[in-house]
Structure 1
Amino acid sequence: MTTTLEPPVTTAPALGIHTDLSNADYHADKTSLSSSGARKLLEPSTPAHFRYEQDNPPAPTKTFDYGNAAHKLVLGNGPELVVIQHDAWTTKAAKAEVAEARERGAIPLKQHEMDMVTAMAAAIRKHPLAAALLDPAYGAPEQSGFWIDGPTGIRRRVRFDWLPSIQSGRLIIPDYKTAADASDRVMEREIEKYGYNMQADWYEEASRALGLGGQDAELLLIVQEKKAPYLINVIGIEFGSRIIGGAKNRAAINTFAECMATGNWPGYGDEPNYLALPGYAENRDKELYL
């Protein structure tokens, strides 16, 4: 199925770095492509999914709230955090307070949830490398950038969790994430699942396009567990995986450019798609039954 829509009309932010652009205004620009958007354009998602989510942002989830609340306390910028002083949020009074907080853009939390994200921020400050990468004396949070993609002419955008303001040598771009398990074994799968190799290539290319660093800029993920003792794993993306991420980004950029030019945002297609068994199942069943 193909969704046909008029090209979105917005007042797009100017090209270059923006130090005070709100998160809402950043995401409101439908004329440009972000790293998360690029990942949404590729399989197993589709351009139709991408465009639908642009026009219908998903409702906040607890996982989303925890991540944003931790970002607020770790990075020092973000929505207001409001503790809802009710043991249960099922009462009329509690529901009203939660709704009022969300209406003004705040994140409602229970007291134990506020205690958790506060402890997470404290653990970050005690981690030598994470604390150095996020030192407020040498950087600032939530910096947005917009630039023109050379091959296609589309607008691209990036929102850095943290951007160093004093640089000596290689530009290191930290990106803070929360996780249930930050171990190497699990994070290898998360890199593939969430396309963090695409994000690394996107942010590193953004830094070059925006004149922020040389050819050797590098994204480092600061991944923190959401359970005590709130351990932190600082992760770099291996070079070959970033090359693959760059190729996938280019495919997504080309798809976005075509969809913007035609107004067509295709889904899974209008004709039958003939599929085979997964390789492991086919091999197993051939051996057992053929």
Structure 2
Amino acid sequence: MTDPAHIDQPGVYDLPAHVYHADPVVGGSLSSSGAQRLLPPFCPAKYKAWRAAGGEHRHVFDVGRAAHALVLGVGEPFEVIDADSYHTKAARAQRDEAYAEGRTPLLSHEHEQVQAMAAALRKVPLARALFRPGTGRPEQTLVWRDGETGVWRRAMLDWLPHSQSGKRLLITDYKTAASVEPAAISNALARYGYYQQASWYIDGATALDLHGGVEPAFIFVVQEKEPPYLVTVAQIDPESIEWGRRRNRKAMHIYRRCIETGVWPGYADDEVISVGLPRWSVYEHEAAYAAGEYDTEQDIA
């Protein structure tokens, strides 16, 4: 049996989140989050520092992490801090101890919030059906090797449905957000690289032949963090998936080159670059010029 902390074969693995994030693949592997950090607005040097620091952790993620655990029924346990804020030394000490022991700390009102979020989601028939117990497995790790670059890739799927012959595989991911209005979700795809995540996960399911020969679909179940905790279910369109795939391929080539050379460059290490105004600013100046706002013959009012 393969040691889950030393994976050297493609497959589907049931791993704790901390093992996944520590990268259990022999020789190292690239995740979707890592691929995004190799490309602008990040760079390989920032990716290397991010990996060395063990990823990013901020309190703002705790509510989403706890809601995720309640919706999926797996994940880090959470600990309720009997306080309204972390202004007191005692509350901060309890929070830090929870982090150190692998638990997600929640203030009292945050605990009530995530309980209400999970209850609200279960009232949405479509969202409830996508995460229905017995229809799939939560937090499954996919590990596969890219055929073109040889880079090992990994992904932790929120929900991997059981394969059904002739039926399309629906890879479902749960997100929390400030707004689930469709335009806000569209903006989040670009801002947070969710379209790259979707392409990455679809590629993993395809490489491991989990899709039954039918192109998988990627579904987001997005929920607001404020009452009434609205839920929107959204599928990413094929064009966005393809752009994500192109960016991911670029990231894998950069990753392979950095691994081979041991060099993780910044934005411009060996040259002086030319910079100018962003295009939106140039357009503003051009419009102002055309309107006569730069006419030196005008009197000052």
TM more than 0.5: yes
Query: Counterpart in 2 of 1:8?
Result: none
Alignment match, 1:289: 294
Instruction: Determine the structure 1 residue equivalent to 2:105.
Output: 108
Asked whether the equivalents of residues 170 and 217 of structure 1 are also in contact (C-alpha less than 8 Å), the reply is yes
Match of 1:176 among 156, 174, 179: 174
Residue in structure 2 matched with residue 27 of structure 1 by the alignment: 21
Residue 67 of structure 1 is matched in structure 2 by 64
Gaps of 5+ in 2: 296-301
**CA distance in structure 2 between the aligned counterparts of 1:146 and 1:210, rounded to whole angstroms:** 8
Unaligned runs of 5+ in 1: 1-10
Q: Which moved more, 1:142-151 or 1:194-203?
A: 194-203
Partner of 2:9: 15
What corresponds to 2:246 in structure 1? 247
Please state how far the C-alpha of 1:218 moved relative to its aligned partner. Answer: 0.7
Deviations 1:51-88 (A, max 9, x none): 10000135532221111101110011111111111344
Deviation per residue, 1:159-189 (Å, 9 max, x gap)? 1011112525000010000000111111111
Letter paired with 1:22: P
Higher RCO (CA-CA < 8 Å; seq separation 6+): 1
Asked if the contact 2:84/2:109 (under 8 Å) is kept, the reply is no
| Aligned equivalent of 2:188 | 190
Equivalents in 2 of 1:215, 1:274: separation in Å?
Answer: 47
Distance in structure 2 (CA, Å) of the matches to 1:45 and 1:198: 15
Q: Distance in 1 between matches of 2:128 and 2:113?
A: 18
Cα distance change, pair 273–82 in 1 and its aligned pair in 2 (3 A):
same
Q: Deviations over 1:141-172 (max 9, x none)?
A: 11001111000111011110111125250000
Q: In the alignment, which residue of structure 2 is the partner of 1:210?
A: 208
Report if aligned partners of 1:171, 1:216 keep a CA contact under 8 Å in 2.
yes
- 2:176 alignment partner AA: T
Name the SS for the 1:159 alignment partner.
strand
CA contact (8 A) 2:137 2:160 kept: yes
SS at match of 1:153: coil
Does structure 1 residue 134 correspond to structure 2 residue 131?
Answer: yes
Q: For 1:242 and 1:50, locate their aligned partners in 2 and report how far apart those are by CA, in whole Å.
A: 23
Structure 2: distance between partners of 1:158 and 1:93 = 37
Q: Which runs of 4+ in 1 moved over 6 A?
A: none
**Could you report, residue by residue, the CA deviation over 1:106-156 in whole angstroms, capped at 9, with x for unpaired residues?**
011111101111111111111111111101111111100111100011101
Amino acid at match of 1:279: R
Over 3 Å counting, the alpha-carbon distance change for 1:59 and 1:197 in structure 2 is closer
1:167 corresponding residue in structure 2: 164
**Quick one: structure 1 residues 227 and 87, their matched pair in 2 at CA, closer, same or farther if it must change by over 3 Å?**
closer
Partner of 1:121: 118
Larger Rg: 2
Q: Deviations over 1:194-246 (max 9, x none)?
A: 11111111111110111211341011011000001111111111111111111
What RMSD, in angstroms, separates the aligned Cα atoms of the two structures?
1.6
State the match for 1:268 in structure 2.
267
Aligned length: 280
TM-score for both structures, normalised by structure 2: 0.88
Q: Percent of counterpart pairs with the same letter? A: 43
Matches within 5 A, 1:34-113: 34-58=31-55, 60-113=57-110
Bigger drift between 259-268 and 15-24 goes to: 15-24
Q: C-alpha displacement at 1:27, in angstroms?
A: 1.4
